[in-house]
Amino acid sequence: MIPTFVFVHGSASSAHGWTATQREMAARGYRTLAIDLPGRGAGFTRAYHEQDLETFAAEPSVMSELTLDDFVGQVIDAVRRVRHHGPVILVAHSFGGLPVTGAANAIPELIDRIVYIAAQCPVDRAPGEYPALPEWSSAELFTATAPLLVGDPARQGFIRVNWRGADREQRAALRNAVAAELTEEEYLQVVVTSQPDEVFWLTGPEWDLRADKETWGRIPRTFVKLTEDRSMPLAVQNLYITEGDALTPDNPFDVRELDSGHAGFLRKPAGLAEILDALSVRAGAGSR
């Protein structure tokens, strides 16, 4: 049976980020569903649009009230809705790996394959502990976004980034960190829809999610390494793969590679679509 691909976006993104990928997959004959994680897809405030920074900085955010269960529940609901059509392949990018892993822990019988695209896949430690590891030391995203942070995440309970406030030099640093292969005009098409608010998942026991050997560990899984990624360096991607393989050596990651930065493939999706197309044959043949 032909599987349904459920796409889960990363930080600062939304379902809109998968539009080009969905067009490419539709042309190949697949059903797809791209979901908005909680707090996404609602648009931007007037203060953000108009760059009224005083008002923007004082605005509350729904992100301060959201929990990991809210994110995981959104993915679970999506999988349950499309499962009656046949096999389901969950595709996660970046931060999206956290709720996808949580869903796999909870409903492994409804998921035929997980595809992590340079996505977080915590196994040996809490998600917020990974960025402090030496493997993350070369990541350029943190330094590129630091000048654009609004307020204190620890006090606010959420992260707020003023993407539209970046000057030319700051935009160049962001593009280099996220998608150096894109032109400035192509990158602007990405950043114009970037969401300013994100959950502060780096701290707190409520975000201590780890892959479960008995549930997550029995689902076939693929890790797509982004070889030009300067936001989640290859060393980090390899760490997630190594930890996952050690947890379930009889069910290791199927590892693929894309010559892409952290978000460049979203604008040029042919390479990813080719990988997903090949994986769908396995899912259809091995559907449970």
pLDDT digit string (tens) for 123-135?
A: 999 999 999 999 9
Q: Read off the DSSP letter of residue 14.
A: -
> pLDDT at position 154, please?
87
Q: Read off the DSSP letter of residue 39.
A: T
Which residues face 30 on adjacent strands? none
Burial class from Cβ neighbours inside 10 Å (0-12, 13-18, 19+) for residue 124 reads middle
> pLDDT at position 245, please?
98
> pLDDT at position 285, please?
39
pTM: 0.95
Q: Using alpha carbons only, give the angle 117, 150, 230 rounded to the nearest 5 degrees.
A: 30
> pLDDT at position 22, please?
98
**Tokens representing 64?**
């301060």
Task: Write the CB contacts of 35 (distance below 8 Å, at least 6 apart in sequence).
Answer: 6, 7, 8, 9, 15, 74, 75, 78
Structural domain of 15: 4-285
> pLDDT at position 283, please?
52
d(CA 254, CA 282): 12
> pLDDT at position 203, please?
77
- Domain at 109, CATH number: 3.40.50.1820
Instruction: Provide the residue-wise pLDDT of the chain in tens; the chain has 288 residues.
Output: 889 999 999 999 999 999 999 999 999 999 999 999 999 876 799 999 999 999 999 999 999 999 999 999 999 999 999 999 999 999 999 999 999 999 999 999 999 999 999 999 999 999 999 999 999 999 999 999 999 999 999 889 999 999 999 999 999 999 999 999 999 999 988 888 899 999 998 877 889 999 999 999 999 999 999 999 999 999 999 999 999 999 999 999 999 999 999 999 999 999 999 999 999 865 553 444
Q: What are the percentages of helix, strand and coil residues in the chain, rounded to 5?
A: 50, 15, 35
Number of Cα atoms under 13 Å in the Cβ half of residue 20: 14
Q: Read off the DSSP letter of residue 205.
A: G
> pLDDT at position 281, please?
66
d(CA 190, CA 1): 34
Q: Tally the domains of the chain.
A: 1
- 3-class DSSP assignment, residue 113: strand
> pLDDT at position 48, please?
95
d(CA 25, CA 11): 23
- Burial pattern 80-118, b for ≥16 Cβ within 10 A else e, equals eebbeeebbbbbbbbbbbbbbbbbbbbbbebbbbbbbbb
> pLDDT at position 204, please?
79
d(CA 151, CA 54): 11
